[in-house]
Amino acid sequence: MSNKFLSQNDPKIAKILKKEQQRQQEVLEMIPSENFVSKAVLEALGSVATNKYAEGYPGKRYYGGCEYIDQIEQTAISRAKKLFNAEHVNVQPLSGAPMNLAVYSAFCQPGDTILGMDLSHGGHLTHGHPVTLSAKIYRFVRYTCDPKTGKLDYKAIEALAKAEKPKIVLAGFSAYSRNLNYKKFNAIAKKVGAISMMDMAHIAGLVAGKALENPVPIMDVVTTTTHKTLRGPRGGMIMCKQKYARQIDKAVFPGLQGGPHQNQIAALAVALHEAQKASFKKYAAQVLKNARVLCQELQAGGLKIVFGGTDNHLILADVTPLGLSGKEAEQALDEVGITVNKNIIPNDIRKPLDPSGIRLGTPALTTRGMKEPAMKKIGQMIIALLKNPHKISQKTAARKLVKELTQKFPLFYGV
């Protein structure tokens, strides 16, 4: 991308950014929460909308001069409503953690109980991990799944909900690879008088592309970050039933945040426009096909696939059967240009900074145009390398494949 003014004004940052762009071009990005936004999204993100303060909501701002900012935010809201069949949408959350905190604060008083999925079983830090601020304010109770099959025991979750009386029954994940039954989650919430909430951050793009079931018409509240499979700018979005609109909006502003990042909202509007296209539907379907092929290769090569397989874009794999820890596997792959992240697995006996698993996914590689044959090669190469992480010839072969694939499927930003 051209950065004429940046190069003149701040050559140091310009140079580092150029290197980051080159890094993105030259590695196989397999962290399942990462993706590449279009040039149009990048332009909106780097636009003059960043100059404007606009506390409040379209038509009800605390600042003058918001006529165009209102149009941008209203366009983002309308596009999100249409794409996800949502009754009400708030596009102002700055990112995922404040987004979920805003929802908790909309429905809970300090000390109230929230039922969420355990982090080591695929849940998310913001779903009540003890290290978070949310966990200091609210009382989180966690449910787990069967690590072999990924199956959730909905009867056990219902019994837990009845015993603990949560204000929110929360579904959603960041390292879980199976589909959830939203109707069952919603029914459990209704039985105990709780709000049903789904955090679909990881799969929003797959829902938008109609490759996975849409939880929005079923659950009371659905949150999502906008930069993962949805391929938008970094940010968050809350969708809810109309009857909760006021509560949610008040919790976001003035409850938690000040001025929204209007450049981010403009870029989100562009991403939502892109997600309505037929090409995005194809993209979402391909992400799933690629994940299945990759998963089969890794499983065939001896990795233990947690939850027994994948229904979405991500794979959580126990690498200890190959004699490595997750950290060692991440480092070995990093060295040859494959980016994944180490991850804890259910009932992990190792520590979070050096766990037993790695988490990998297909959204970013699919954006570059890679399909099943590339996934097969990558899967086989990952196995070969992890079996012999210190063998020079193995590293050379891996680097060669990374180079071949990244050149064959170049990033569209140019160099």
Mark the binding-site residues for (6S)-5,6,7,8-tetrahydrofolate, compressed into ranges: 119, 123-125
The catalytic residue among 73, 118, 158, 199 is 199
Looking at beta carbons only, is 97 or 187 nearer to ligand DSN? 97
- Least separation in angstroms between residue 197's CB and ligand DSN is 16
Residue nearest to ligand DSN (CB): 33
**Rounded to 5 degrees, what are φ and ψ at 169?**
-105, 115
Q: Which tokens hold the place of 412?
A: 């569209």
Q: Look up residue 94 and give its DSSP letter.
A: S
Burial zone of 102 (CB within 10 Å; 0-12 exposed, 13-18 middle, 19+ buried): buried
**CA 61 to the chain's CA centroid:** 30
Looking at beta carbons only, is 284 or 383 nearer to ligand DSN? 284
Looking at beta carbons only, is 120 or 174 nearer to ligand DSN? 174
Please, which of residues 27-56 interact with ligand DSN by CB under 6 A?
A: 33
Q: Which helix (H) or strand (E) holds 140?
A: strand 139-143
The catalytic residue among 132, 225, 320, 406 is 225
Distance CA 190, CA 112 (A): 17
Please, which of residues 258-317 interact with ligand DSN by CB under 6 A?
A: none
Binding ligand DSN (rule: CB under 6 A), the pick from 90, 174, 325, 367 is 174
Task: Judge whether 415 and 22 are in contact, CB under 8 Å.
Answer: yes
Q: Residues 90-109: x/- map of binding to ligand DSN (CB under 6 A)?
A: ------x-------------
Residue showing tokens 């210190």:
390
Q: Which tokens hold the place of 29?
A: 């990005």
Selection from 312, 284, 310 nearest residue 298 by Cα: 310
Task: Judge whether 364 and 30 are in contact, CB under 8 Å.
Answer: yes
Looking at beta carbons only, is 234 or 281 nearer to ligand DSN? 234
Radius of gyration of the chain from Cα atoms?
22
The catalytic residue among 43, 53, 377, 387 is 53
Looking at beta carbons only, is 134 or 186 nearer to ligand DSN? 134
Active site residue 225: yes
Active site residue 199: yes
Please, which of residues 118-137 interact with ligand DSN by CB under 6 A?
A: 124
Cis peptide before 363 (omega within 30 of 0): no
Active site residue 228: yes
Active site residue 289: no
Q: Residues 197-216: x/- map of binding to ligand DSN (CB under 6 A)?
A: ----x---------------
Selection from 177, 221, 179 nearest residue 199 by Cα: 221
Residues within the interface to ligand DSN (CB under 6 A) = 33, 96, 124, 174, 201
What are the catalytic residues?
A: 53, 55, 199, 225, 228, 234
